[in-house]
């Protein structure tokens, strides 16, 4: 990356911390729009250069992983930015080598894969909820650095993010899901059960970091109590750790439309969607 681009990135990171400590929506939207342009440039570079990028997001329930991923992907192509959020393993998958079910989802040339939770389930939820033996966790933590080294040496850029949310903010977010019809799907029986295990998760996180925070695949931790700031900080950080460049492109000009050549709109009884009268939109706070 050239000096001008590095300067631009460092300036972007200072924008996200306003003087009053709270990021306003207008500031957030303006900076996010700028970062979306950068993400599109990353997308074009990844495709043209045939690069492979893998981004892992981990954290407690309610830490904001989904919001960060949505902010990253809302303006780019899902054919390039592919989100992987695997369900619980099948009986067949349970019989496989643990990492096996994740390997087919790693990126090929020209792809950016984002894991919404990943192989680190074994070190977190599976361990705390008793879905695996302690010996399996120990073996997993022992062998994973070598696996991730092989992933990196294969040419994949691997970034791992842990979103750190406070006890009070997690409680507020989970309680907000209870009566919100848009969010009730985010509050599963497993979420309720794991909520009471805060310190078990803390211990599991600490041991996971100790075993897998390596020089070739380090963990990056982002405070996520302020969702907007966390999203901007993570996107800025991610962009600064990938050596992409803006790809040259020709100036686009729309071609002239063809003449109708006698075509006429048909007299067909289309079943139009009713146009309702909606209340005026107000700016979000």
Element (H, E) at 83: strand 81-84
Tokens of 172: 């507020």
CB atoms within 10 A of CB 165: 23
DSSP readout, 234-250? Answer: HHHHHHHTS---PPP-P
Residue 280 located in a structural domain: no
Residue 263 located in a structural domain: no
Domain boundaries, position 20: 3-240
Of 238, 228, 94, 221, which is closest to residue 159 (Cα–Cα)? Answer: 238
Residue 203 has φ and ψ, to the nearest 5°, of -65, -40
Residue 94 above 80 pLDDT?
yes
Reported confidence tier of residue 8, pLDDT bands at 50, 70, 90: very low
Residue 251 located in a structural domain: no
What's the maximum distance between 2 C-alpha atoms anywhere in the chain? Answer: 76
**Which residues neighbour 218 within 8 Å (Cβ) at sequence distance 6 or greater?**
160
Reported confidence tier of residue 6, pLDDT bands at 50, 70, 90: very low
Reported confidence tier of residue 2, pLDDT bands at 50, 70, 90: very low
* Rounded-to-integer distance, Cα 62 and Cα 4, Å: 37
Residue 114 above 80 pLDDT?
yes
Residue 260 located in a structural domain: no
For 167-226, write each residue's pLDDT tens digit.
Answer: 999 999 999 999 899 988 888 888 888 899 999 999 999 999 999 999 999 999 999 999
What is residue 193's predicted lDDT score, i.e. its pLDDT?
Answer: 85
* Rounded-to-integer distance, Cα 120 and Cα 213, Å: 12
Would you say 54 and 107 are in contact if contact means Cβ atoms under 8 Å apart?
Answer: yes
Q: Which of 1-5, 31-35, 97-101, 189-193 has the lowest mean pLDDT?
A: 1-5
Residue 284 located in a structural domain: no
Average pLDDT of the residues in 53-72 = 97
Looking at 16-104, list the stretches that DSSP marks H as alpha helix, in order from N- to C-terminal side.
25-49, 65-73, 91-94
Residue 19 above 70 pLDDT?
no
Would you say 224 and 63 are in contact if contact means Cβ atoms under 8 Å apart?
Answer: yes
Residue 187 located in a structural domain: yes
Say how many domains are in the chain: 1
Averaged pLDDT score across all residues of the chain: 91
DSSP readout, 115-165? Answer: EES-GGGTTTHHHHTTSS-HHHHHHHHHHHHHHHHHHHHTTEEEEEEEEE-
* Rounded-to-integer distance, Cα 205 and Cα 66, Å: 19
Residue 202 located in a structural domain: yes
Residue 283 above 70 pLDDT?
no
CB atoms within 10 A of CB 74: 11
Residue 128 above 90 pLDDT?
yes
Task: Find residue 114's DSSP bridge partners.
Answer: 55, 83
Radius of gyration of the chain, Cα coordinates, nearest whole angstrom = 22
* Rounded-to-integer distance, Cα 73 and Cα 235, Å: 11
What's the CATH code of the domain at 57?
3.40.50.300
Residue 163 located in a structural domain: yes
């Amino acid at each position: 990356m050239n000096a001008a681009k590095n300067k631009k990135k460092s300036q972007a990171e200072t924008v996200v911390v306003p003087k009053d400590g709270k990021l306003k929506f207008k500031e957030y939207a303006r900076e996010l729009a700028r970062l979306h342009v950068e993400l599109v440039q990353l997308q074009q570079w990844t495709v043209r250069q045939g690069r492979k990028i893998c981004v892992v997001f981990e954290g407690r329930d309610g830490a904001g992983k989904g919001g960060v991923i949505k902010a990253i992907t809302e303006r780019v192509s899902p054919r390039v930015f592919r989100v992987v959020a695997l369900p619980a393993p099948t009986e067949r998958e349970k019989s496989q080598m643990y990492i096996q079910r994740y390997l087919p989802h790693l990126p090929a040339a020209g792809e950016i894969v984002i894991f919404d939770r990943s192989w680190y389930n074994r070190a977190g939820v599976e361990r705390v909820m008793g879905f695996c033996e302690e010996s399996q966790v120990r073996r997993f933590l022992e062998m994973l650095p070598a696996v991730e080294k092989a992933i990196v040496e294969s040419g994949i850029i691997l970034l791992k993010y842990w979103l750190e949310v406070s006890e009070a903010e997690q409680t507020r977010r989970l309680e907000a899901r209870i009566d919100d019809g848009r969010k009730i799907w985010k509050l599963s029986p497993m979420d309720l059960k794991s909520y009471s295990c805060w310190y078990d998760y803390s211990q599991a996180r600490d041991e996971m970091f100790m075993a897998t925070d390596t020089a070739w695949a380090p963990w990056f931790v982002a405070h996520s109590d302020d969702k907007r700031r966390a999203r901007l900080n993570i996107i800025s950080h991610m962009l600064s750790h990938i050596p992409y460049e803006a790809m040259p492109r020709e100036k686009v000009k729309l071609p002239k439309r063809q003449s109708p050549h006698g075509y006429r709109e048909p007299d067909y009884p289309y079943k139009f969607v009713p146009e309702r009268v909606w209340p005026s939109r107000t700016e979000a706070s």
